[in-house]
Chain A
Amino acid sequence: MIKWNPSLIDRIARRSVVILIGSGVSANSTDNNGYRPPTWHTFLQAAKAGLDTAPTHLTKAINQYRYLEACEYLKKIYDDQWIDLVKNDFQRPNYKPADIHQLIFDLDSRIVCSVNFDRIYDTFAITKSQGTYIVKNYWDDDIGAVTSGPERYLLKLHGSIDSPDKLIFSTSDYAGARNKYSAFYGILDALIATHSFLILGCGMNDPDVQLLFENYRYRYNLRNHFMCVPKPINEMQISLMKETRGINIIPYSSADGHIELTESLRALVSLVSDRRNEIADDQSW
């Protein structure tokens, strides 16, 4: 079991934490045939397998975890077949939510960010909250609203499968979006500076985290963020992540389908609930 940092518990209780969910969270879901949404690696491998011949530079990029670069290559090769490929993996199977989605909802962060294209958590949160959860994509104009008020938000950082032509799937996509929708990314940078992030379901090599936190460490010199990562993971990687991205790594066992993460989150929900009760009793919010 994860021993949760008391400071993290307190910050979640006070809603000073943004939860960032990656493809590992979606991988808990299955469709009616037991098929799971792919992670970065499995998606890219499957896309490569769909080619008649895979270029050497593509194989090399995947093996060296240069996922965005690999996406760039695949997107060019697949051309107009690319959108169908993405839809087949992320939308059509009709994935069902898992326990981990309920636990994330119950942590009751005011803002959840998702780098997932699927709508698993979107649909779940909207249904559970009787339609009061607000979903924002990176291109939405009124993004400033997330900075205040009691509403709960889900920010889709890389878009949604509903708008496949706006998905951020490569370096050029990302650079283009950051330039065109600078207000959104300004707010995201502000959230990174003013909140702690709890990152779930992202791998160490996933480009999402690298892109988001690239500028963070040197500008603010804080180590305020937490990322749950499956073992094995070596000390050098932990050290590097802390120093270069300001992220504290929380290792957990990936055995039995990452059950330790789910059960640890269940405990976290309970600890946060206790802490919220204490804050209410003391009126120390």
Chain B
Amino acid sequence: MKSIAFFNNKGGVGKTTLLCNVAAYLGNNLNKKVLVIDADPQCNATQLMLSDEEILNIYEDRNSYTIHNIIHPLSLGKGYNEQLKPISVPSYAVDLICGDPRLSLKEDLLSKDWQDSISGSIRGLRTSFLFQDVLERCGDYDYVLFDVGPSLGSINRAVLLASDYFISPMSIDIFSLRAIENISIAINEWRKRLEIGISQVDKEELDELPKKLNFNLQFLGYVAQQYTQKTVDGESRVVHSYERIMKQIPKVVSKNFVEKLSAKKTDIEYRLGTIPNLHSLVPMSQTARKPIFLLKSKDGVRGAHFSKVEDAKNLFDGIASKIEANARVLNA
């Protein structure tokens, strides 16, 4: 089982679209068992994959199982919740642990317990490693994918602590470049402090924690989002200002992510793909509650958009294949 967080410090980068379509491609076309955990309090992945009726049924019932069920017992001073209850999403061929806006309320708990963690508190560490405990109960899956919000806050820290890898969807603007530096600094700081905290814990108390306690997050790759293009001399070309930034991405990624966060490996293609402007296909996908590459005429596809649907399938095939290839190399 591999766990991957789709994470960027900057919002509006197409993260949820990317995650849900990659998950669907792994499930539908590569026959992987995939669990999506919606750890974003905005619940974007949940909203994209479930129908309106399903969403109403789940959220009108206060007893429904959401990500809140995973974390709430910890704030009551109890141990980990014993049973995961994901729901099946046939159209995306994945299982889903639904998001919950109440997750925002747990930011304080996670933040306080993190402070306790790095002081060697067992209760603090238990909370900080809650997602690691979740992952240790996901052995039946090939992939667990986390959708997280665009922040460097407590919730995302807990997710990243547990994940094997993270993928960074990236829009082509200067703010995304600055965000990369932030991520690198934060992750290394967290890693350092956590090692100190764990070293202060008595060995017999470690039994209460998940087995894997090291912070071994590795960078798996990035997906660029293509922006404005103009046709010049018969070729589609990126507008000049975007072109300047695009050229900087590989270097900035290499310096901040690859050199500082990952094992030294050659022959890894960190650029997993480039998402073109998908225009009407994205809202069509949202309305139909289907992956982009499975849209059909009954979902509203007309004319040459059939070619774009096929291009999208090729795109997600490329991204999913590189994810699998990179994970194999990084794991060796």
B231 touches A128 (CB 8 A): no
Q: A132-B297, A280-B279 are in contact. Are A267 and B306 (CB under 8 A)?
A: no
Tell whether B302 is near chain A: CB-to-CB under 8 Å: yes
Cβ of A181 to closest chain B Cβ, rounded Å: 27
Within 8 A of B (CB), among A1-21: 1
Least CB separation from B297: chain A residue: A132
A32-65 CB mask vs B (1 if < 8 Å, else 0) is: 0000000000000000000000000000000000
Q: Tell me the complex Cα distance, A2–B229, Å.
A: 20
Q: Which residues of A contact B303 (CB under 8 A)?
A: 108, 110, 129, 152
Tell whether A143 is near chain B: CB-to-CB under 8 Å: no
Tell whether B82 is near chain A: CB-to-CB under 8 Å: no
Q: Tell me the complex Cα distance, A150–B301, Å.
A: 10
Tell whether A214 is near chain B: CB-to-CB under 8 Å: no
Q: Tell me the complex Cα distance, A264–B231, Å.
A: 12
Tell whether A94 is near chain B: CB-to-CB under 8 Å: no
A141-154 CB mask vs B (1 if < 8 Å, else 0) is: 00000000010100
Tell whether A105 is near chain B: CB-to-CB under 8 Å: yes
Tell whether B304 is near chain A: CB-to-CB under 8 Å: yes
A102 touches B236 (CB 8 A): no
Cβ of B295 to closest chain A Cβ, rounded Å: 10
Interface residues on B, range: 10 to 19
Q: A130-B297, A150-B302 are in contact. Are A1 and B307 (CB under 8 A)?
A: no
Q: Which residues of A contact B192 (CB under 8 A)?
A: none
A106 touches B307 (CB 8 A): yes
Tell whether A107 is near chain B: CB-to-CB under 8 Å: yes
Tell whether A274 is near chain B: CB-to-CB under 8 Å: yes
Q: Tell me the complex Cα distance, A267–B303, Å.
A: 19
Q: A130-B296, A130-B297, A277-B279 are in contact. Are A107 and B231 (CB under 8 A)?
A: no
Tell whether A271 is near chain B: CB-to-CB under 8 Å: yes
Tell whether A217 is near chain B: CB-to-CB under 8 Å: no
Least CB separation from A263: chain B residue: B234
B304 touches A107 (CB 8 A): yes
Q: Tell me the complex Cα distance, A127–B303, Å.
A: 12
Cβ of B314 to closest chain A Cβ, rounded Å: 13
Q: Tell me the complex Cα distance, A142–B229, Å.
A: 41
Q: Which residues of A contact B235 (CB under 8 A)?
A: 267, 270
Tell whether A266 is near chain B: CB-to-CB under 8 Å: yes
Q: Which residues of B contact A110 (CB under 8 A)?
A: 303
B277 touches A129 (CB 8 A): no
A105 touches B304 (CB 8 A): yes
Q: Which residues of B contact A102 (CB under 8 A)?
A: 307
Least CB separation from B296: chain A residue: A130
Least CB separation from B302: chain A residue: A150
Least CB separation from A275: chain B residue: B231
A250-278 CB mask vs B (1 if < 8 Å, else 0) is: 00000000000001101100110010010
Tell whether B112 is near chain A: CB-to-CB under 8 Å: no
Q: Which residues of B contact A266 (CB under 8 A)?
A: 234
Within 8 A of A (CB), among B225-249: 229-231, 233-236
Q: Tell me the complex Cα distance, A264–B233, Å.
A: 10
Q: Tell me the complex Cα distance, A239–B230, Å.
A: 33
Q: Tell me the complex Cα distance, A263–B297, Å.
A: 29
A105 touches B307 (CB 8 A): yes
Cβ of B100 to closest chain A Cβ, rounded Å: 36
Q: Tell me the complex Cα distance, A240–B230, Å.
A: 36
A152 is contacted by which of B230, B234, B296, B302 (Cβ under 8 Å)? B302
Cβ of A235 to closest chain B Cβ, rounded Å: 26
Q: Tell me the complex Cα distance, A259–B86, Å.
A: 54
Q: Which residues of A contact B229 (CB under 8 A)?
A: 274
B233 touches A1 (CB 8 A): yes
Cβ of B305 to closest chain A Cβ, rounded Å: 8
Q: Which residues of B contact A280 (CB under 8 A)?
A: 279
Q: Which residues of A contact B277 (CB under 8 A)?
A: 277
Within 8 A of A (CB), among B125-182: none
Q: Tell me the complex Cα distance, A263–B234, Å.
A: 8
B302 touches A271 (CB 8 A): no
Cβ of B309 to closest chain A Cβ, rounded Å: 9
Q: Which residues of A contact B307 (CB under 8 A)?
A: 102, 105-106, 128
Q: Which residues of A contact B233 (CB under 8 A)?
A: 1, 267
Cβ of B241 to closest chain A Cβ, rounded Å: 17
Least CB separation from B228: chain A residue: A277
Q: A130-B296, A277-B277 are in contact. Are A1 and B234 (CB under 8 A)?
A: yes
Within 8 A of A (CB), among B112-132: none
Q: Tell me the complex Cα distance, A132–B229, Å.
A: 30
Cβ of B112 to closest chain A Cβ, rounded Å: 47
A270 touches B302 (CB 8 A): no
B182-212 CB mask vs A (1 if < 8 Å, else 0) is: 0000000000000000000000000000000
Interface centre among A132, A263, A264, A277 (most CB of B within 10 A): A132
Interface centre among B229, B234, B303 (most CB of A within 10 A): B303
Q: Which residues of A contact B234 (CB under 8 A)?
A: 1, 263-264, 266-267, 270
B306 touches A128 (CB 8 A): yes
What are some 22 contacts across the A-B interface (CB < 8 A)?
A: A1-B234, A106-B304, A106-B307, A108-B304, A108-B305, A110-B303, A128-B307, A130-B297, A130-B301, A131-B297, A132-B297, A152-B302, A152-B303, A263-B234, A270-B234, A271-B231, A274-B229, A274-B230, A274-B231, A274-B236, A277-B279, A280-B279
Residues of chain B touching chain A, judged by Cβ–Cβ distance below 8 Å, are 229-231, 233-236, 277, 279, 296-297, 301-307, 310
Top 10 A-B residue pairs of the complex, sorted by shortest distance between their CB atoms = A267-B234, A108-B304, A108-B303, A270-B231, A132-B297, A106-B304, A271-B231, A270-B236, A129-B306, A152-B303
Q: A277-B277, A277-B279 are in contact. List 16 more A-B contacts (CB 8 A).
A: A105-B307, A107-B304, A108-B303, A128-B307, A128-B310, A129-B297, A129-B306, A130-B306, A132-B297, A132-B306, A152-B303, A264-B234, A266-B234, A270-B234, A274-B229, A274-B230
